Structure 1
């Protein structure tokens, strides 16, 4: 629960943010603030001292308190460098939460500009990065590009460009380098090893003993960590590591029910809900009983996961918390550029639906 002086600070800071008090304006006197907030002078003074420390006001004996130009009056601009925004559904609720958090902190969230022509994800990312550098943004939230050749080198080059431009960066969802290496950047995401373990453990508890992990080629670090968690769950249950088969879909001709069934597995874990939805449709159309013959699970809990022909069991990402934490992280990095990199790891929740339940 906020203390009295914290509440007063929040009220006054909010009035400065929303323009009630502009740079150059005089704040009410301490006596007037005492009456307004029904508080003692020491309590008012404590709230005012915090605003002085943040450079938001200046107090002059005999003259009063003046509002200064500061972070409260000048919006910081935060760019979203998310190349798959609009194509990967999990980012939509995360960005909504970011927008709410930015409004709360008087930040301006800048969406990725649309390239003038149709480009590859690499070209689009470079274009967005260039625009943000040209615009001299105050910070960038970056989701590294996945499923590309030389992905590590490419994403590191983007980080190098932003660093050279002295633009702070927070990584969203995943790191650029392969685990266990880490870049010297703040990162916000879930514990993907734990997520993979929880999903696989659930399938094992439902009677599965041979699992497929279905993914696209050149997957992101998040997917590799989920695979590690799945394998650990099998070993923990007394199954051999070979009980988990990694199946990478290279072309649409390989993505068939026949191809999936050829691996003699009774459980299918997909890298995300989008892949799981496609796999479910193929299996159901081929007459495969879900969950009788094959149990299927995914990750993210996108909005259509519960609306599929067989409602999908999935690991739900805490999107609101992720979006809020990302904004908090970039704001902290802007204010305290000298602090050590921080990793914010949030926990999701397994949502059990018909696709994995015992028959």
Structure 2
């Protein structure tokens, strides 16, 4: 090493060269400071100064009690926004966003989560405002969950996408597309295979001996819920039933007797609920009416949210792989930013059915 430079710069140059020549791979930890002191024959403050310089440039990340980790090149400076307006309405988005934040941090990517995200009830106004914020901030990318249950939601979501794209911002969709299935927008999308999820849940009920399957959801269900219903129908067909055998029931909380009446008239003994929130309310109604679960009727949900195991009758639920969704979403975003003209990637992750007392 040249003696013309200060010692900390000599150390900085040497470690930077080792990283670029892949002596230390991306994600690897550098040796402890004590070993670096011995390697470079210098003091700990000098080593710390060199590592801090590497950290400031986004080449490594330092964490107390963890060490100094090599970051992917050209990722450290990336800033990506979360545009998930209905975060507070759908419990599954919180752990997915937490996973995105954690995995992005490990990659050196900065996630921007505005404080108002998910708090306001005017989701249209929130999405419009957040899109404007991200454009003015000149972020590199945005994770976007299209808004449902607003007037002209498809046109509004497309407008958001077009505004972000015109600003040169990469977009990765979470959970769902803008168009009804099977039509697709030309954007990357990360989520679960909802058809497969519905197939698995219904197949479990059939294997448990259920012969009359019901699908319970709120009126005008989201596209993801409709896909789960398609999966349930396919499970029926593959087990020798007709698609017409599926009893579809609208869940209207203000008319609980109608829900019970529909299930009893259809002699339903196995219920697939659109999600855990619907399943939790249905279970409460069934328990209050003295209907034995799972003796008289078995109930399953989707998402395996944190309260699913804490209900009066712990709920069997299809668990979304939230950490995996976050990790794949981050990797997809990095790839999209680095290769903006690359082919569209649609990644569906496989979850698992968590068995509990409602349908053991």
TM class by shorter chain equals 0.7 to 0.9
Task: After TM superposition, list the pairs within 5 Å mapping 1:8-157 onto structure 2.
Answer: 8-10=24-26, 19-21=52-54, 70-72=74-76, 75-114=77-116, 118-157=120-159
In 2, Cα distance between equivalents of 1:200 and 1:123: 38
| 1:349 equivalenced with 2:344 (yes/no) | no
- Equivalence for 2:341: 338
| 1:163 equivalenced with 2:179 (yes/no) | no
User: Are 1:16 and 1:22, in contact at CA under 8 Å, matched by a contact in 2?
Assistant: no
User: Are 2:75 and 2:107, in contact at CA under 8 Å, matched by a contact in 1?
Assistant: no
In 2, Cα distance between equivalents of 1:130 and 1:157: 12
- Equivalence for 1:307: 310
- Equivalence for 2:272: 269
* 1:171 Cα deviation from its structure 2 partner: 0.5
| TM-score, normalised via structure 1 length | 0.79
Displacement over 6 Å in runs of 4+:
11-18, 22-25
In 1, Cα distance between equivalents of 2:220 and 2:52: 49
In 2, Cα distance between equivalents of 1:76 and 1:214: 42
Q: 1:11 to 1:83 in 2, by over 3 A?
A: closer
Q: Which SS does the other structure have where 2:148 is aligned? A: coil
* 1:18 Cα deviation from its structure 2 partner: 7.3
Please point out which of 236, 251, 258 is paired with 1:234: 236
In 2, Cα distance between equivalents of 1:112 and 1:165: 19
In 2, Cα distance between equivalents of 1:130 and 1:189: 26
User: Are 1:79 and 1:141, in contact at CA under 8 Å, matched by a contact in 2?
Assistant: yes
* 1:122 Cα deviation from its structure 2 partner: 2.0
In 1, Cα distance between equivalents of 2:274 and 2:23: 44
The count of aligned residue pairs is: 312
| 1:319 equivalenced with 2:335 (yes/no) | no
User: Are 1:174 and 1:222, in contact at CA under 8 Å, matched by a contact in 2?
Assistant: yes
In 2, Cα distance between equivalents of 1:255 and 1:189: 32
User: Are 1:267 and 1:295, in contact at CA under 8 Å, matched by a contact in 2?
Assistant: yes
5+ residue gaps, structure 1: 26-50, 57-69
User: Are 2:75 and 2:334, in contact at CA under 8 Å, matched by a contact in 1?
Assistant: no
Write out per-residue CA displacement over residues 260-290 of structure 1, whole angstroms, 9 at most, x where no aligned residue.
Answer: 5354221111111111111101110111111
User: Are 1:196 and 1:230, in contact at CA under 8 Å, matched by a contact in 2?
Assistant: yes
| TM-score, normalised via structure 2 length | 0.78
User: What is the aligned-residue RMSD (CA, Å)?
Assistant: 3.0
Q: Which SS does the other structure have where 2:358 is aligned? A: helix
Moved more, 95-104 or 346-355: 95-104
| 1:289 equivalenced with 2:292 (yes/no) | yes
